[in-house]
A and B are shown apart, each in its own frame.
Chain A
C-alpha cells in the first residue's frame, strides 16, 4: 500500500483500523510501522474522528427532554388508522416475507412467458395470406395453419404435416 492509497482509504474507512477489511488493515499497519509520515497522518485522523464524534453526540439530559416532547405530542392526539393491504389478510406471512425483490424481473418474465404460452395454447397463431396470387385453397390452409405447420416439412410420401 502506497502513502496515497493509505490516505484515500483513511478518508473512506475512518481512522479505526479495526473496522477495516483484514487485508487492507494488514497493509496499513505495515505502512504505519515503516513510514513516520503515514503514522503522523493516522494520528491526526484519529484525533479528528474523536473530535467529530464528541461534537455530534448529545448528553443524556438533552435526549430525555427531546424524547419527552415527542412522546407528549404523539400522545396528544389519537393515532391514525393503520394501512393494511388486502393481500396480507389472506396470504400466509411466510410467503409474504419471502424476498422476491432481487429476482422480480425474472419472476415477471416467467409469468409473462406462462401467460403467452397459455394464450397460444388456447387460440394458436393464425397467419393471414401472404400472397394474393396463392390459390383460395392454399390461402385457406394458411389461415388454418399454425406456426408449427409453417416450420415443419410435410411428409414427402403422404403430404401430411406432423
Chain B
C-alpha cells in the first residue's frame, strides 16, 4: 500500500481504512510540520496544527472529491489553521540547520552558515503571513506559482505579487549576505 498515490489512499480512507490513513500521516506529517513551523513560529504549535489538520482529513475523507491534488487541499487546511491561530512570528530554531550542516565545512564556515540561516529565518518570520506562506511553499515545498495560488486561495498573478514583495523585502533586509556569498 506504500506505493499508492495520495488520491488512492484518500479513497481507501473514505471507506474507513486506518492503515491507509497511517501511511498518509507518515508521508505528510513532517513536511507539513516544517511548513507550519515557519507559519506559527513554535515547534509544538506546528505539530498541533498538523495533528488537527490530519484529523480533519480523516473526518472529512468521505466527502473529499479529487478535484484538486490531495497535497494542495491538505496544505490549504494547514495554512488556514495556522492563520486562524494569529500568532506573532517568532525567531526560528536553528536545530534543523544543525542537522543539515555540511561536515566538509570548517568551524568558521559552519558558524557563518548558521548565522546566515538565522538571519534568513528571522527575515522570513517577519514577513506578512501570506507573503511568508508564498515564500515557504515556493522554496521549501518547491511548488509552482499555480499550486501556491490554490493553497493561498488567490490567483496566479496574486501569488506573483506576494512573491515580488516578499523577495524585495528579503533582499533589502539580507542585502549582500545571501546574494554575494558562496553558494551552498
A residues whose Cβ falls under 8 Å from a Cβ of B? 8, 11-14, 19, 44-64, 66-67, 69-71, 73-74, 79-85, 88, 96-97, 99, 101
Contacts and interface: CB of A to CB of B under 8 A. Distances in A.
Given A74-B25, A83-B63, A52 B170 contact: yes
B51 interface: yes
A57 B100 contact: yes
B34 A63 contact: yes
A74 B168 contact: no
Interface string B165-184: 00110110010011111011
Given A50-B183, A97-B65, A66 B170 contact: no
**Secondary structure dominating the interface of A:** helix
Contacts, number: 147
Interface in B1-45: 14, 16, 18, 21-22, 25-26, 29-31, 33-34, 38, 43
B51 A70 contact: yes
A52 B177 CA distance: 11
B16 A56 contact: no
A74 B55 contact: yes
Given A55-B120, A74-B54, A85-B62, 17 more contacts: A8-B164, A13-B160, A48-B170, A48-B174, A52-B178, A53-B139, A57-B96, A57-B100, A58-B34, A66-B30, A66-B47, A67-B29, A80-B58, A80-B59, A83-B60, A83-B62, A88-B63
Interface of B: 14, 16, 18, 21-22, 25-26, 29-31, 33-34, 38, 43, 47, 50-51, 54-55, 58-63, 65-67, 95-97, 99-100, 116-117, 120-121, 124, 135-136, 138-140, 144-145, 160-161, 163-164, 167-168, 170-171, 174, 177-181, 183-184
Given A14-B138, A57-B100, A79-B18, A70 B50 contact: yes
A51 B184 contact: yes
Given A11-B164, A11-B168, A63-B30, A51 B181 contact: yes
Nearest to B116: A51
Given A53-B139, A58-B34, A79 B58 contact: yes
B138 A44 contact: no
Contacts of B95: 62
Contact of B96 (A59, A79, A80): A59
Given A48-B174, A70-B54, A82 B25 contact: no
A56 B178 contact: no
A82 B61 contact: yes
Contacts of B25: 70-71, 74
A86 to B, nearest CB: 11
